């Protein structure tokens, strides 16, 4: 049963870390919003989907017939990541303005906000399937089909570890995810807006009395979470070269699992949980077969909630160092 895993341990490990890095970036959005609002933003999966769509649109607009090289490649990658990131960030802020802020102003229950999140998620899926994809991508009557995306870069092997090849795109994804996490950690821990986020997470009423603009903090939180999801969407398109109107659904649930696994509300835990989940998925698929990959991920969620609901690190955003 374990022969496949032991014989290909390093390839499964590398693929797991790359997939886990994408999970971790998306999980950062879940954990940021939960840390500030105590809300599970289930529409965040569609914010990730918007990032993949925006990135795919950039690549398709280039009309590529072969992968880019040199400065053209650098420019193409930056454009792809920036457009994906800002499209998702803008969508996340619009989502907060329309779906969540009116409920907050009226003092609605968290259940109402949760229902609003689910409704927004379904609305965004259908909007892209029925309107955006058929028109923006010129695919009439094909809005629900999976779309392939042209390869923007050659996936050359850089080096090998234990007999496993590490490609340039895999290294780029992993380094980008770690870099975004470090940048976010520094923003939250060392900047004025970061202090406002931590203060709001700990005690919104006291933070407001101390002069913190709660609405601004919430907007920035959604912006940052959306930006992370958009970058993850661009990296996903770079790695898998596909997108779909519902592509965020399953991945979003897994990213939520990663956030819970690392400690919901914990920034470093979100990325750690993503990497850990990516490894567990791949190792499990090697042992039990690829058909069990999703089952393993959701089993991890159940087990974590049963035996360690605070996650691996268990530290919330409000407890981050000053």
Residue 271 falls within a domain, yes or no?
Answer: yes
User: Is 43 part of a structural domain of the chain?
Assistant: yes
Spatial contact of 263 and 313, defined as CB atoms under 8 Å apart: yes
- Contact between 160 and 166 (Cβ < 8 Å): yes
Band of pLDDT at residue 1, cut at 50, 70 and 90: low
pLDDT > 70? residue 319: no
pLDDT tier at 317, thresholds 50, 70, 90: low
pLDDT, average across residues 193-197:
92
Secondary structure E strands in the chain: 147-148, 157-161, 164-167, 242-243
Residue with tokens 């940021």: 32
What was the pLDDT predicted at 321? 40
Taking only the tens place, the pLDDT of each residue in 291-302 is 888 898 889 888
pLDDT tens per residue, range 137-190: 988 888 999 999 999 999 999 999 888 899 999 999 999 999 999 999 999 989
- Cα–Cα nearest to 121, from 43, 51, 53, 48: 43
309: confidence class by pLDDT, cuts 50, 70, 90:
confident
Interatomic CA distance for residues 207 and 100, integer angstroms: 20
Find the angle CA(256)-CA(259)-CA(265) to the nearest 5 degrees: 120
pLDDT at residue 297, rounded to an integer = 83
More confident: 64 or 134: 134
Q: What is the pLDDT of residue 307?
A: 86
* Average pLDDT of every residue of the chain: 91
Nearest CA to 322 out of 192, 217, 209 is that of 192
In a domain, 156, yes or no: no
What pLDDT sits at residue 79? Answer: 96
Domain of residue 166, residue span? 3-141+161-319
Could you tell me the pTM of the whole model?
0.93
Are 158 and 168 contacting, i.e. CB atoms less than 8 angstroms apart?
yes
pLDDT at residue 59 greater than cutoff 90: yes
Q: Quick check: is 152 in a domain?
A: no
146 in any annotated domain: no
Helix, strand or coil, per DSSP, at residue 227:
helix
Q: Report yes or no on 147 lying in a domain.
A: no
> Residue 213's domain is classified under what CATH number?
1.10.3470
* Residue 260: closest CA among 45, 30, 25: 30
Distances (CA, A) of 106 to 36, 39, 112, 197, 221: 18, 16, 11, 22, 20
**3-class state of residue 241 by DSSP:** coil
> Which of 228, 254, 314, 185 is CA-nearest to residue 16?
254
Q: Is the dihedral of CA 77, 80, 86, 92 positive or negative?
A: negative
CA of 108: how far to CAs of 101, 112, 234, in Å? 10, 6, 35
Structure tokens, 95: 């989502």
Total domains present in the chain: 1
Provide the 10 A C-beta neighbour count for residue 134.
16
- Res. 316 pLDDT band, cuts 50 70 90: low
Torsion of CA 81, 83, 86, 91, to 10 degrees: -120
The answer to whether residue 165 sits within a structural domain is yes
pLDDT of residue 315: 57
Least trusted range by pLDDT, from 105-109, 122-126, 131-135, 179-183? 105-109
Distance of alpha carbon 296 from alpha carbon 250, whole angstroms: 13
């Amino acid at each position: 049963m374990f022969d496949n895993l032991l014989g290909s341990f390093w390839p499964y490990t590398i693929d797991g870390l790359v997939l886990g890095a994408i999970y971790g970036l998306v999980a950062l959005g879940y954990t940021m919003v939960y840390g500030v609002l105590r809300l599970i933003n289930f529409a965040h999966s569609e914010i990730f989907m918007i990032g993949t769509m925006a990135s795919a649109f950039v690549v398709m607009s280039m009309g590529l017939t072969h992968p880019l090289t040199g400065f053209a490649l650098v420019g193409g990658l930056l454009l792809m990541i920036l457009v994906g990131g800002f499209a998702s960030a803008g969508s996340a802020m619009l989502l907060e303005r329309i779906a969540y802020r009116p409920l907050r102003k009226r003092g609605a229950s968290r259940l109402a906000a949760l229902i609003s999140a689910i409704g927004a998620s379904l609305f965004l899926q259908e909007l892209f399937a029925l309107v955006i994809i058929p028109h923006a991508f010129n695919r009439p009557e094909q809005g629900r089909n999976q779309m392939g995306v042209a390869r923007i870069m050659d996936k050359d092997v850089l080096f090998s570890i234990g007999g496993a090849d590490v490609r340039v795109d895999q290294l780029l994804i992993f380094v980008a995810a770690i870099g975004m996490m470090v940048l976010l950690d520094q923003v939250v821990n060392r900047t004025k807006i970061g202090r406002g986020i931590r203060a709001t997470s700990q005690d919104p009423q006291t933070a407001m009395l101390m002069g913190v603009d709660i609405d601004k903090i919430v907007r920035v939180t959604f912006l940052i979470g959306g930006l992370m999801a958009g970058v993850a969407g661009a990296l996903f398109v770079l790695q898998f070269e596909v997108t779909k109107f519902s592509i965020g659904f399953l991945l979003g649930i897994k990213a939520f699992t990663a956030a819970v696994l690392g400690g919901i509300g914990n920034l470093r835990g979100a990325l750690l949980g993503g990497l850990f989940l990516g490894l567990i998925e791949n190792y499990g698929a090697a042992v039990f077969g690829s058909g069990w990959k999703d089952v393993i991920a959701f089993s991890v969620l159940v087990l974590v909630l049963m035996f360690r609901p605070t996650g691996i690190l268990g530290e919330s955003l409000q407890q981050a160092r000053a």
